[in-house]
A = this chain, B = another copy of it.
Amino acid sequence: MNYSINEISRLTKLSKYTLRYYEKEGLVPKIKRNSSGYRIYDEKDLEWLTFLLKVKETGMPIQTLKRFSRIMFNPKTIPERRKILLEHKQHIIQQQEKLQKSLDAIDKKFKKYDEIQRKSIEL
Contact = CB atoms under 8 A, between A and B. Distances in A.
Interface in A43-72: 51, 54-55, 57-58
A106 B85 contact: yes
A11 interface: no
Contacts of A95: 95, 99
Contacts of A103: 89, 92
Interface of A: 51, 54-55, 57-58, 75, 78, 81-82, 85, 88-89, 92, 95-96, 98-99, 101-103, 105-106, 109-110, 113, 116-117, 120
Instruction: State the 10 A-B residue pairs at the shortest beta-carbon distance, nearest first.
Output: A58-B102, A54-B102, A54-B105, A85-B106, A78-B113, A92-B99, A92-B103, A58-B99, A89-B106, A55-B102
